[in-house]
């Protein structure tokens, strides 16, 4: 390489051509965000109710922790490629892997959120005549909200990274630039794509961190 690849990457990013058209950076970024949002949303619909149930009743806790541990040992790229092969090219295959990989964080976030409520507070709510549903929705969830959002944050970080690998098996998103660069031995383009993904991931992480702080109920220490 004759010139500094980082200078090349900045030149690549500064080219106005990159910022328009169907393969432009805005379109790819929106695709990437869309995959992430969809993956986390579907996973949340499955994992959050289960997590709340486990946290509230204390049942199946060992099972939930064990499942989360096994899921952490699963290689992301393996799931993405296996589903791509079994289900075929399209959005279903990557979405399946996003959901599987997002579930452990969401599950852990939901049950630890409910569990974090002081048992004395929960008993006080029960003594006041609140139903179990009211205890869950008016006491345990509001108190544990930062932990619940923390689970969403962990899941989002995981899915943003996996959404990039999905480009490897034919999906869109910002990962495309890295794999195109790899194919054509264009290292500056790979760096540019990497910087874009890193910025996106950090922005999402900071936004959710902020949400975590904002949702902490007044009078309690932020998690």
d(CA 165, CA 80): 7
Exactly one of 10, 53, 81, 116 binds other proteins (CB under 8 A); which one?
81
Site membership for other proteins, residue 63 (CB under 8 A) = no
Residue 125 vs 164, nearer CB to other proteins: 164
Q: Please identify, using beta-carbon distances, which residue of 145 and 201 lies nearer to other proteins.
A: 201
Q: How far is the CB of 185 from other proteins (least distance, A)?
A: 9
Per the CB < 8 A criterion, the answer to whether 126 and 135 are in contact is: yes
Q: Which is nearer to other proteins, 136 or 160 (CB)?
A: 160
- State yes or no: residue 76 binds other proteins (CB under 8 A): yes
- Under DSSP, the state recorded for 167 is G
Decide: is 197 part of the binding site for other proteins (CB under 8 A). yes
Q: What Cα–Cα distance (Å) separates residue 25 from each residue in 59, 194, 200?
A: 46, 12, 12
Give the C-alpha distances (Å, rounded to integers) separating 95 from 9, 87, 165: 30, 11, 12
Select the residue interacting with other proteins from 69, 88, 90, 217 (CB under 8 A): 69
Taking the CB of residue 50, how many other CB atoms lie within 10 A of it? 17
Q: Considering beta carbons, is residue 133 or 185 the nearer one to other proteins?
A: 185
Nearer to other proteins, 51 or 181 (CB): 181
Task: Please write down the long-range contacts of 16-23, taking CB distance under 8 Å and 24 or more positions apart.
Answer: 23/176
- Angle formed at CA 116 by CA 113 and CA 117, multiple of 5 degrees: 105
Instruction: Convert residues 5-44 into a mask of x (bound to other proteins by CB under 8 A) and - (unbound).
Output: xx--------------------------------------
């Amino acid at each position: 390489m004759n010139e500094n690849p980082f200078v090349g990457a900045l030149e690549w990013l500064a080219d106005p051509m990159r910022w328009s058209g169907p393969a432009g950076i805005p379109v790819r970024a929106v695709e990437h965000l869309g995959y992430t949002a969809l993956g986390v949303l579907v996973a949340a619909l499955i994992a959050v109710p289960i997590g709340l149930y486990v946290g509230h009743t204390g049942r199946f806790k060992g099972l939930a922790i064990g499942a989360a541990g096994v899921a952490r040992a699963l290689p992301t790229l393996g799931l993405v490629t296996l589903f791509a092969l079994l289900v075929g090219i399209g959005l279903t295959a990557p979405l399946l892997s996003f959901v599987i990989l997002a579930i452990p964080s969401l599950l852990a976030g939901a049950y630890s959120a409910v569990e974090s409520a002081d048992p004395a507070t929960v008993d006080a709510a029960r003594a006041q005549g609140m139903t179990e549903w009211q205890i869950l929705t008016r006491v345990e969830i509001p108190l544990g909200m930062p932990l619940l959002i923390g689970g969403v944050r962990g899941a989002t970080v995981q899915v943003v990274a996996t959404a990039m690998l999905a480009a490897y098996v034919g999906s869109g998103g910002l990962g495309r630039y890295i794999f195109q660069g790899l194919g054509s031995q264009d290292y500056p383009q790979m760096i540019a794509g990497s910087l874009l993904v890193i910025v996106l991931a950090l922005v999402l992480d900071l936004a959710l961190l902020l949400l975590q702080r904002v949702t902490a109920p007044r009078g309690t220490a932020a998690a």
